[in-house]
Amino acid sequence: MSRDRAIRFRIFPLKSIQSNISLAFSLLILAAIVLTSLVSYQVSVDAVERNSKGYIEEIIKQVNMNIQSYVDNMENISLLALTNKDVKYYISDNSFISSGDRRIYEKQISDLFQAILYTRNDIASIMVFGYNGRFVSDRRITNLNPNAKLQEQAWYKMAKSEGGKSVISAPHVQNIVQNEYRWVVSLSRELKSTDGITAEGVFLVDLNLSVINDICSNINLGKKGYLFIVDKNGNIVYHPQQQLIDSKLRSERIADVVQASSGSSFIAKDGEGKRIYSVQDTNFGWKIAGVAYTDDLIASKDELRNSILLYSLCGLTISLLISVWLSHRLSKPIKELQSDMKQVEKGNFDIQTEIGQMNEIGQLGRSFNLMVSRTKFLMEETIHNQENKRKSELLLLQSQINPHFLYNTLDSIVWMAEQKQHEEVVLMTSALAKLFRASITKDQELVPIRVEIEHITNYLLIQKMRYEEELDYYIDIDESILSYKTLKILLQPFVENAIYHGIRNMYGIEDGRITIRGRQSNDQIVFEVEDNGLGMTPEQLGKIRFNGEEDARNQGIGIRNVNERIKLYFGHEYGIHIRSEIEVGTCVTITIPKLE
């Protein structure tokens, strides 16, 4: 049994309604949660990306402003030099009287530069180179690098070609001073004479590249994010991995950045991963680009996903428990109904299932209760009917071996034998024998009408011989009904009644008469047993109809019994009808169906 169940459990893991409801709920909830989680994850990721775009843009703006402030500062220093009279005089064409005078100017200019430099540690050096070959720097003694040709320096050439406008160089190693190799960004500018036309020298301010380097490398754009700067021609000004790009170990989207307008951003996706480029223009020709890896915002993206997952798991757990509980609640009345049904299956019809709420299951329960009570009623009825049938059969049997009738008949035979009426003795004895054979030997309840008529004829023959002139009888049966079936010993009780109650008590009347008729009417067969005896008062008639039981003691089978027998076998529309009039006679009409 348990093994059988186990096997079924494996093949149909969800046989019960509860598990099915749980499963359906769980799947629905799962689908809903997965869907909302995915959507909210996507929405959040989009939001994170959008936010980080804005964030990167902000940072780069800040970087831009910082760098701009350094450049502005250099610009201001250059303006200071530009307007300084000493500088102007020093690099102008006029010749000094003595080197001593020159020294004074050099010292004054150098002091000025030193003062500036002292306040600004982002500036590496400040120098002025006159086209007349004189030069001053922020140091007292400046030894120029003999191997670095001034005229070939990029910043020098650019300043000359721009003619008075300041020029920002790309970062480079400044080698103009002997034994000094510094990474700087140079701002250079050609100086004009007082007339504003003649060019007289080049002014140089070097900004320590470390300043820009620090700004850029301290920017935090996520774990892997970084910032780089290109000039308008796409040359790298600053890139944390410039050496790798130079060695072609790494590529950078420089062309895209150069194309991009200030404040715009674009997304690049390749083998290195998805990244957001945000570009800002400085107003001296550089482009600053911030690069952030979207999966680097992973810190938040991962957390986001995990928290969403966590919450959905919690939600799922709770809703699964709820769904199990709900399905249990829903299926509980069904299970109760089921167990009640099992009781009925076992034969307990006294059960009435409890009806909770009047929902579908409540209605089901009500119908079940109705059905059970109806079944119970029918069952009881059937049992009752069976009892009655058996009782009536028993009575029938008794009636056939009615001892009075037998004694009387045997008395008659003895009497006739004493009278030596041999023929009558033979006749009566054979009729008696036929009578008993007909009723005892055959078990069937239903017999052809022919047999029943034979039986009643034998019976009447015996009675006729007993009562002689007192009794007369006529049998009038339609030939066509002889082969239809009827209940056994249907007519005998009525004939018996007619003789014992109707005719025998008619003292002095010689011609007691019993008429038996049989005919068909539509699909019924109608028998009539009519006598011209005493008849009955309506009171007696009522007694017979309703208290047949009392009569039965005296008369074998009661009228009511026969009536019941007919109804049991053929249905309620069949039965007997008694018509009687005092002093005139009684007529019993028996109606049965036509049965082949």
For residue 434, how many C-alpha atoms fall within 13 Å in the half-sphere facing its CB? Answer: 18
Closer of 173 and 401 to another protein (Cβ): 173
Residues 290-329, interacting with another protein (CB under 8 A): 295-296, 298, 302, 305-306, 309-310, 313-314, 316-317, 320-321, 324, 328
Closer of 306 and 480 to another protein (Cβ): 306
Binding part of the chain for another protein, among 179-187, 254-262, 361-369, 489-497 by CB under 8 A, reads 179-187
Radius of gyration of the chain (CA): 66
CA–CA distance, 133 with 147 (Å, rounded to integer) = 16
CA–CA distance, 499 with 429 (Å, rounded to integer) = 20
Report in angstroms how near the CB of residue 219 gets to another protein at its nearest: 13
Closer of 148 and 582 to another protein (Cβ): 148
What are the tokens at 346?
């076992």
Q: Give 289: exposed, middle or buried? Use CB within 10 Å, 0-12, 13-18, 19+.
A: buried
Cβ atoms < 10 Å from Cβ of 171: 20
Report in angstroms how near the CB of residue 365 gets to another protein at its nearest: 21
Report in angstroms how near the CB of residue 99 gets to another protein at its nearest: 29
Closer of 320 and 506 to another protein (Cβ): 320
Residues 240-259, interacting with another protein (CB under 8 A): 240-244, 246-247, 249
Backbone dihedral angles phi then psi of residue 126, each to the nearest 5 degrees: -130, 130
| CA-CA-CA-CA torsion sign (229, 235, 237, 241) | positive
Closer of 65 and 313 to another protein (Cβ): 313
Residue 342 binds another protein, judged by CB under 8 A: no
Residues whose CB is less than 8 angstroms from the CB of residue 218 and which lie 6 or more positions away in sequence, other chains included: none
Q: Give 428: exposed, middle or buried? Use CB within 10 Å, 0-12, 13-18, 19+.
A: buried
Q: Give the H or E element holding residue 216.
A: helix 209-217
Residue 210 binds another protein, judged by CB under 8 A: yes
CA–CA distance, 373 with 351 (Å, rounded to integer) = 9
Residue 357 binds another protein, judged by CB under 8 A: no
Cβ atoms < 10 Å from Cβ of 588: 22
CA–CA distance, 87 with 92 (Å, rounded to integer) = 8
Alpha helices in 438-595 (DSSP H): 449-467, 492-497, 538-546, 548-555, 559-570
Residue 30 binds another protein, judged by CB under 8 A: no
Closer of 283 and 317 to another protein (Cβ): 317
Closer of 67 and 438 to another protein (Cβ): 67
Query: Nearest CA to 291 among 213, 214, 219?
Result: 219
Across-strand partners of 577? 589
Residue 170 binds another protein, judged by CB under 8 A: yes
Binding part of the chain for another protein, among 45-53, 159-167, 222-230, 422-430 by CB under 8 A, reads 222-230
List 40, 114, 175, 343, residue binding another protein (CB under 8 A) = 175
Across-strand partners of 207? 123, 185
Residue 32 binds another protein, judged by CB under 8 A: no
Is-contact 594 532, C-beta < 8 A?
no
List 182, 274, 376, 519, residue binding another protein (CB under 8 A) = 182
Q: How many residues bind another protein (CB under 8 A)?
A: 53
Report in angstroms how near the CB of residue 72 gets to another protein at its nearest: 22
Report in angstroms how near the CB of residue 203 gets to another protein at its nearest: 21
Report in angstroms how near the CB of residue 374 gets to another protein at its nearest: 32
Cβ atoms < 10 Å from Cβ of 566: 22
Binding part of the chain for another protein, among 19-27, 57-65, 132-140, 440-448 by CB under 8 A, reads 19-27
Residue 332 binds another protein, judged by CB under 8 A: no
Closer of 81 and 211 to another protein (Cβ): 211
Residue 22 binds another protein, judged by CB under 8 A: yes
Closer of 309 and 582 to another protein (Cβ): 309
Report in angstroms how near the CB of residue 357 gets to another protein at its nearest: 22
For residue 583, how many C-alpha atoms fall within 13 Å in the half-sphere facing its CB? Answer: 0
Binding part of the chain for another protein, among 60-68, 237-245, 449-457, 496-504 by CB under 8 A, reads 237-245
> What binding mask, one character per residue, do residues 125-154 give for another protein by CB under 8 A, x or -?
--------------------xxxx------
List 107, 140, 223, 384, residue binding another protein (CB under 8 A) = 223
The structure tokens 């000039």 sit at 231
Residue 232 binds another protein, judged by CB under 8 A: no
What are the tokens at 180?
């000094």
Beta 512-521 vs 471-477: how paired, if at all?
A: parallel
Query: Nearest CA to 429 among 441, 413, 414?
Result: 413
Residue 5 binds another protein, judged by CB under 8 A: yes
Report in angstroms how near the CB of residue 127 gets to another protein at its nearest: 18
Output b/e per residue, 324-354; b: 16+ Cβ within 10 A. beebeebbebbeebeebeeebeeeebebebe
List 9, 118, 377, 474, residue binding another protein (CB under 8 A) = 9
> What binding mask, one character per residue, do residues 460-499 give for another protein by CB under 8 A, x or -?
----------------------------------------
Q: Give the H or E element holding residue 257.
A: helix 254-259
What are the tokens at 555?
């008369």
Report in angstroms how near the CB of residue 561 gets to another protein at its nearest: 57
The string of DSSP codes covering 394-442 is HHHHHHHT-HHHHHHHHHHHHHHHHTT-HHHHHHHHHHHHHHHIIIII-
Which residue ranges make up the site for another protein (CB under 8 A)?
5, 9, 13, 16, 18-19, 22, 26, 145-148, 170-173, 175, 179, 181-183, 209-210, 213, 223-224, 226, 235-236, 240-244, 246-247, 249, 295-296, 298, 302, 305-306, 309-310, 313-314, 316-317, 320-321, 324, 328
